[in-house]
Structure 1
């Protein structure tokens, strides 16, 4: 069985990500004119910040310089985290998305958009919005019953324990030039 360049890169880069508490999610090589772009996608339970990506990028660059896995052709290295609407394919992806809204396509047919409220080894609990005036319901979905899932972007994401539509605790001042009123 022959090992592909992506497989060799994964073997080389996975330990570097793991040493930093990250999971190597994907490795892609795409042509870009006379060069290639090597994209290394990593994630972690608390997310991956810019500093962590920069540190890993330096380590990956050093490791690639020590080997010939990329060959002689020029390339650009990108170390990044998954996008906001990333596909959910592993239990850790769902675990990292607890509290987020997701669009889920079921193997039995049908699709639903629901909030991930809990995840365990077999599947997840989803808060499915109710019809107008009705409370949301919790539905169980086994990983084996999910054909595809993706996080949905929310522009008014609710805070933990609250609703996105809740009124603020304080009333804002009507006139921006007016100072707050004393009670």
Structure 2
């Protein structure tokens, strides 16, 4: 991780509204001569536009006050959309009971309801071609973590 990414990550974590909010992803890249910073945050009960705006405002204030990014930059703070893959245990936990599309390491996609989740196994009721099929899969079988 670059020093810039590390510094921005620390700012984001410092300015999250409360402990129910968490950082999902942070991307820093050069686009058309400007630094683009994309921050994705989530919360256990869902993230609001107000939370995104607050994080954006606070991070931007500190970036400018401390001259962390020297030139022009674009800052975007958002929540991950429904098409953004789940990437950490906290996201999976908040989606227990919801229907998910899982991409297996075999290349097969399975759609099913996430029933249980722990560090060692994940229980999903999957649907394949209109049939209901219950499966008990190990974490290595999914695109988890």
Query: Under TM normalisation by the shorter chain, which class is it?
Result: 0.7 to 0.9
Shift of 1:131: 5.3
Shift of 1:21: 3.0
- Aligned 8 A contact 2:20 2:45 in 1: no
CA RMSD of aligned residues (A): 2.4
Shift of 1:20: 5.8
Larger Rg: 1
Task: Classify 1:59/1:21 alpha carbon distance in 2 versus 1 (closer, same or farther; 3 Å).
Answer: farther
Between Structure 1 and Structure 2, which shows a larger proportion of strand residues?
A: 2
* C-alpha separation in 1, matches of 2:128 and 2:28: 44
* C-alpha separation in 2, matches of 1:84 and 1:14: 23
The alignment partner of 1:79 has SS state of strand
Counterpart among 98, 101, 108 of residue 100 in structure 1? 98
Shift of 1:24: 1.1
Structure 1 range deviating more: 113-122 or 51-60: 113-122
Matches within 5 A, 1:6-155: 6-17=5-16, 19=18, 21-70=20-69, 72-107=70-105, 109=106, 111=108, 112-129=110-127, 132=130, 136-146=132-142, 148=143
Unaligned runs of 5+ in 1: 150-183
Matched positions, count? 143
Task: Classify 1:18/1:99 alpha carbon distance in 2 versus 1 (closer, same or farther; 3 Å).
Answer: same
